[in-house]
């Protein structure tokens, strides 16, 4: 708002606000007269206002740039701030950060006035800042500028509904889909989440509740942008992509609020069953070895119709296990394992291959 004056010796005090939430603030103008003869009442207070929102535990600030203009020419003029005084019921929650002294020069470019707010208690608070100014000669400007600061203390806060998303026991190499409650917004402000659709090679996030906005990062990578209102629960629709038999997979799914720097440690867990029906019905095939007879070393070969866990060992004719050649998960297909028996005495030995619920044996003839 602009108050016009017919007098030649008058100035405009302009205070423009911005804050550290990057929210646009209006431009406030106040006419102050250097000779005390304007049409305004002498010493009348010109009122402007600014608002601040604090949602984290760190203090927040708002800054106003104070510029004095000559009303007739419209050009900035030099001046001074002669006093800065905070008052009001909640004045102790506010602090003038800049200028550092109560007397500051106002250049053609103006002078920043930064006020900080900090409270640990949710609520709405206000305080007033009285700003008295003068021209460059020290002659007081007629009007005292009073800024009313209104601050709202909110809270960005969330809690994990469960610490582990447990798929339970899943058959080997089989996908599984479940919906899990993820995070509850326990604060007073909306939460903005960025969630990768692929938190690990074993898990894929198919969707979120509430529904997300989709950001396609690449052909294989999607980011879900989710706004979560206060008092609501964010859920994830997750798919386990499958894994070989007998695995326990635990992968992290961290949740972090970049605004306030808080985080929750959450885990994805799944156990693949020790054996599948397919493995029970499709036994290992054609356990062979070469050369046979041999003098120091031989090679055992076999085919696996499905991925499964195998154990290949060498026994004496009396059934005593002498060495284990392999005890691991193997993919389907043809496999070969070498057996170094240079330290064994001549004789006949038994190689036994256990795969799933079936077993095959072969006779090994060691000749010196």
Q: What is the pLDDT of residues 285-303, one digit of tens each?
A: 578 899 989 999 999 999 8
Is 34 in contact with 141 (CB distance < 8 Å)? yes
pTM of the model: 0.56
In angstroms, the CA 113 to CA 365 distance is 94
Predicted local confidence at residue 91, as pLDDT = 95
In the chain, which residues fall in CATH 2.60.40.10? 10-153, 158-272
More confident residue, 54 or 101: 54
pLDDT at residue 278 is higher than 90: no
Q: Which CATH architecture has domain 10-153?
A: Sandwich (2.60)
Q: Is the peptide bond before 92 cis (omega within 30 degrees of 0)?
A: no
CATH topology of domain 158-272: Immunoglobulin-like (2.60.40)
Inform me whether the pLDDT recorded for 361 exceeds 50: yes
Per-residue pLDDT at 241 exceeds 80: yes
Q: What pLDDT is recorded for position 43?
A: 33
List phi, psi (to 5°) of 29. -125, 140
The partner residues of 238 in beta bridges, in order of sequence, read 178, 205
Alpha carbon distance 25, 2 (integer Å):
17
What is the SS3 string spanning the chain?
A: CCCCCCCCCEEEEEEEEEECCCCEEEEEEEEEECCCCCCCCCCCEEEEEEEEEECCCCCEEEEEEEEEEECCCCCEECEEEEEEEEECCCHHHEEEEECCCCCEEEECCEEEEEEEECCCCCEEEEEEEEEEEEECCCCECCCEEEEEEEEEECCCCEEECCCEEEEEEECCCCCEEEEEEEEEECCCCCEEEEEECCCECCEEEEEEECCCEEEECCCCCEEEEEEECCCCEEEEEEEECCCCCCCEEEEECCEEECCCCEEECCEEEEEECCCCHHHHHCCCEEEEEECCCECCEEEEEEEECCCEEEEEEEECCCCCEEEEEEEEEECCEEEEEEEECCCCCCEEEEEEEEECCEEEEEEEEECC
Question: Which residues face 179 on adjacent strands?
Answer: 237
Q: Assign 253 a pLDDT band (cuts: 50, 70, 90).
A: confident
The residue whose two tokens read 């005090």 is: 13
Q: Which among 150, 143, 151, 79 is positioned nearest to 108, based on CA atoms?
A: 79
Mean pLDDT of 189-193: 90
Tell me which residue of 62, 57, 55 sits closest to 191, measured CA to CA.
Answer: 55
Strands 60-70 and 104-106: unpaired
Lowest mean pLDDT across 19-23, 120-124, 187-191: 19-23
Q: Give ranges for CATH 2.60.40.1930 in the chain.
A: 279-366
Q: Which residue has the higher pLDDT, 211 or 43?
A: 211
For residues 222-241, average pLDDT: 92
Question: Per-residue pLDDT averaged across 204-225, rounded?
Answer: 85
Residue 204's beta-bridge partner residues? 239
Highest mean pLDDT among 36-50, 102-116, 139-153, 232-246: 232-246
> pLDDT above 70 covers what percent of the chain?
79
Which pairing describes strands 191-196 and 222-228: parallel, antiparallel, or unpaired? antiparallel
Question: Does CATH number 2.60.120.260 belong to domain 279-366?
Answer: no
Summarised one tens digit per residue, pLDDT across range 298-330 is: 999 998 888 877 889 898 877 788 999 998 888
Q: Mean pLDDT in the chain?
A: 78
Is residue 197 predicted with pLDDT exceeding 80? yes
Predicted confidence (pLDDT) per residue in 77-123, tens digit: 788 888 889 999 999 999 999 887 767 788 777 788 889 999 999 99
* Two structure tokens written together for 16: 């423009």
Tokens for 235? 């859920």
Task: Kindly indicate the confidence band of residue 274, based on its pLDDT and cuts at 50, 70 and 90.
Answer: low
């Amino acid at each position: 708002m602009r108050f016009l004056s017919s007098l030649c010796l008058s100035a405009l005090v302009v205070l423009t606000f911005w804050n550290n939430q990057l929210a646009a603030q209006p431009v406030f103008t106040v006419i102050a007269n250097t000779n005390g003869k304007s049409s305004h009442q002498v010493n009348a207070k010109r009122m402007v206002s600014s608002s601040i929102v604090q949602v984290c535990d760190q203090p927040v600030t708002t800054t106003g740039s104070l510029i004095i203009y000559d009303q007739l020419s419209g050009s900035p003029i030099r001046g001074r701030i002669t006093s800065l005084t905070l008052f009001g019921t909640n004045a102790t929650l506010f602090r003038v950060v800049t200028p550092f002294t109560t007397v500051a020069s106002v250049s053609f470019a103006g002078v920043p006035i930064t006020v900080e707010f900090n409270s640990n208690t949710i609520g709405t608070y206000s305080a007033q800042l009285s700003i008295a100014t003068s021209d460059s000669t020290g002659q007081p400007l007629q009007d005292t500028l009073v800024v009313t600061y209104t601050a709202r203390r909110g809270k960005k806060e969330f809690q994990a509904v469960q610490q582990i998303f447990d798929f339970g026991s899943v058959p080997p190499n089989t996908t599984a889909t479940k919906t899990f409650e993820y995070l509850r917004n326990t604060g007073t402000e909306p939460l903005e989440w960025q969630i990768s659709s692929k938190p690990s090679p074993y898990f894929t996030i198919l969707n979120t509740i509430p529904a997300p906005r989709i950001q396609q990062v690449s052909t294989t990578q999607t980011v879900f942008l989710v706004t979560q209102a206060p008092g609501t629960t964010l859920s994830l629709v997750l798919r386990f992509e499958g894994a070989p038999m007998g695995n326990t997979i635990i992968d992290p799914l961290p949740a972090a609020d970049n605004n306030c720097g808080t985080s929750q440690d959450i885990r994805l867990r799944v156990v693949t069953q020790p054996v599948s029906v397919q493995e029970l019905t499709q036994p290992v095939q054609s356990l062979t070895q070469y050369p046979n007879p041999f003098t120091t070393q031989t090679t055992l070969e076999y085919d696996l119709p499905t991925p499964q866990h195998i154990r290949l060992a060498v026994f004496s004719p009396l059934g005593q296990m002498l060495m284990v050649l392999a005890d691991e998960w193997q993919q389907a297909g043809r496999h070969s394992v070498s057996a170094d028996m240079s330290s064994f005495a001549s004789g006949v030995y038994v190689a036994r291959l256990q795969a799933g619920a079936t077993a095959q044996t072969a006779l090994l003839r060691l000749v010196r």
